């Protein structure tokens, strides 16, 4: 059994709650208030800027050229790939760059990114990889779950969001990170694996807080 299987089992109940969360479910059913989605898009855009910085820390912590290239590619994929989904929606929602610059990150947003940055800066390559994994992997699973809802992929507004997170490109990026975590785990002690599992659980809890924040438009 891969270490990622252990990680998944430890957060399965938390992740299952994502799928029925009113914000997430609202995207799949096409019923989510667009004002809530707009709030989310701005906060998530701010989040992704810090998320990309954590991938950049992976370049610093990496011990091989191959892994350095992988993290470097991920930084580019976030800034010029995943964030393109956000930029597309920002045009639809008439969000301009000034509005983003003038928006303060919510407390849940700051708490989450600061936690990931702290464990990544202080820790090992494994800490970096696991802190990043919860967000990336759970979005793939959320996309897969929502794609099963009849008509979700064809929805004229939210369909694009779902398609972005089940795309071959996004799946490939997620599998790269999963493989890296599993390879790192092969050389770690039980104590070190427990620490990585704790980080993964904490980040999964932060993900749930992020969905709550977005739905309730909490500052």
For residue 93, the 8-state DSSP code is T
Long-range contacts of 94-98 (CB under 8 A, 24+ apart): 95/38, 95/41, 95/42
Residue 68 has which token pair?
Answer: 């350095």
In our burial notation (b when 16+ CB lie closer than 10 A, e otherwise), range 46-77 reads: bbbebbbbbbebbbebbeeeebeebbeebbeb
207 labelled catalytic: yes
C-alpha 140/C-alpha 88 separation (Å) is 19
Please name the residues in contact with 55: beta carbons below 8 A apart, sequence gap of 6 or more: 71, 74, 75, 78, 132
Check: CB of residue 34 under 8 Å from CB of residue 156. no
Give the 3-state secondary structure of 107-161. HHHHHHHHHHHHHHHHCCHHHHHHHHHHHHHHHHHHHHHHHCCCCCCCCCCCHHH
Residues composing the chain: 219
> Looking at 94, 198, 207, 218, which residue is catalytic?
207
For residue 102, the 8-state DSSP code is T
Active site members = 207
């Amino acid at each position: 059994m891969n270490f990622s299987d252990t990680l998944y089992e430890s957060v399965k109940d938390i992740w299952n709650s994502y799928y029925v969360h009113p914000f997430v479910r609202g995207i799949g059913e096409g019923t989510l208030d667009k004002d809530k989605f707009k709030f989310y898009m701005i906060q998530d855009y701010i989040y992704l800027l810090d998320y990309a910085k954590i991938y950049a820390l992976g370049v610093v912590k990496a011990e091989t050229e191959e892994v350095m290239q992988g993290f470097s590619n991920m930084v580019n994929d976030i800034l010029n790939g995943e964030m393109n989904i956000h930029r597309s929606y920002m045009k639809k929602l008439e969000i301009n760059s000034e509005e983003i610059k003038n928006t303060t990150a919510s407390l849940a947003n700051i708490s989450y990114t600061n936690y990931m940055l702290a464990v990544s800066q202080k820790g090992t390559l494994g800490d970096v990889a696991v802190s990043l994994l919860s967000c990336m992997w759970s979005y793939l699973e959320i996309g897969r779950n929502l794609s099963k809802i009849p008509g979700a992929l064809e929805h004229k507004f939210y369909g694009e969001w779902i398609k972005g997170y089940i795309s071959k490109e996004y799946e490939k990026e997620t599998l790269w990170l999963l493989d890296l975590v599993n390879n790192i785990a092969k050389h770690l002690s039980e104590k070190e694996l427990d620490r990585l599992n704790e980080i993964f659980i904490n980040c999964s809890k932060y993900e749930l807080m992020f969905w709550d924040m977005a739905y309730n438009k909490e500052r």
